Amino acid sequence: MLDKLADIERRYDELNQQLADPDVVKDRQRYQKLARESGDLRETVAVADRYRQCIARRDEARQIIVDSSEDQELLELAGLELAEAEEEFERLEVEIRVLLIPKDPDDSRNAILEIRAGAGGDEAGLFASDLFRMYSRFAERNTWKAEPLSSSTNPSGGFKEVIFLVTGDTVYGRLKFESGVHRVQRVPKTEASGRIHTSAASVAVLPEAEEVDVEISPEDLEIDVFRSSGPGGQSVNTTDSAVRITHKPTGMVVSCQDEKSQLKNKNKALKVLRARLLDKVRAERDEKLAKERRQQIGSGDRSAKIRTYNFPQSRVTDHRIGLTVYRLEEVLDGEIGEFVSQLAVAEQGRLLNDR
């Protein structure tokens, strides 16, 4: 373990030396890449320093016990010091084993969330709106920022689709396990007989891509502009401010009409397109590990039912880890921290067992 830590510390020193190089500072893309790698290693280096100090304390206490067999008072003090050092040593070893788990390099990124209404008609659209509010409130609780990128509503007031960017500290790393199908069981407002309906919405969590990650050639893009429209098809803008971008090599299409500025809509659409292209690259890379990924908590399979929100019982159940809470209103108000944390712990445990 000490050899691995030494390699990490050497790499960390190398990165910091490169980041101080004026030529690297001038190259924005290279600087960002190196800075991200340095940031990922910073915590491990700090814990490694504490780990070495703890080993030194433990060895010193053991030596004092050997050398001071006749000094009872010194023996007692050394014994207390040894017990504390041993306890800290065990705790730090666990912490280091977790830190040495190969990290998802995208964990430190911002995230783009795409929520789409599924089966259930208007009720599914209303549930998609509930999920959008839930993640927006969770972002507020973590002092993150949620910025809408694109949305499409239905006459009932719900969302057919809503796409938004969440920026902050390790957003993708904390939200990536939210990808999948979320199911709701409740009595719709339009249901006169009081019958419980089951509806669904899908959530896709993508790491935000930077220009350095995905190179898009202008020749590969087909850009159309048109007038924005609201629910029912009515025009909400008298200028051609809405933008539709088609990525010809992949056939991906992204539309954005939320802004009154054509340029802003184009920039937002490009942001979503980059994220989807990066996600495609990740999916192709992970296809080689398909068997292993099927065992993962965060497989990202958006066809899989991952969580049920049951209104009659005020119950929320995550089917991947068997976690159930009876605080549905609080969860939909953004209190999903328990799910986020337990999913991360479960994945860490799986990765530790696989090593």
Domains along the sequence of the chain with CATH:
2-99 (1.20.58), 109-355 (3.30.70.1660)
- One-letter amino acid of 326: Y
Q: What is the largest CA-CA distance in the chain?
A: 93
Determine the Cα angle at 201 with ends 308 and 140, to 5°. 80
Tens of pLDDT, residue by residue over 247-267, are 999 999 998 888 888 898 998
DSSP SS3 for 261 = coil
According to DSSP, the residues that pair with 206 across neighbouring strands are 112
pTM of the model: 0.69
Does residue 312 come out as left (phi exceeding 0), alpha (psi in the -120 to 50 range) or beta? alpha
Task: Report, as an integer, the average pLDDT of 234-248.
Answer: 74
Name the pLDDT band for 29 (thresholds 50, 70, 90). Answer: confident
Task: Report, as an integer, the average pLDDT of 148-176.
Answer: 91
Tokens standing for residue 304: 């899989």
Tens of pLDDT, residue by residue over 301-321, are 445 799 999 999 999 999 999
Tokens standing for residue 6: 């030494």
pLDDT for the residue numbered 190: 66
Tens of pLDDT, residue by residue over 68-119, are 777 788 888 999 999 999 999 999 988 888 788 777 878 888 999 999 999 8
pLDDT at 235 over 60: no
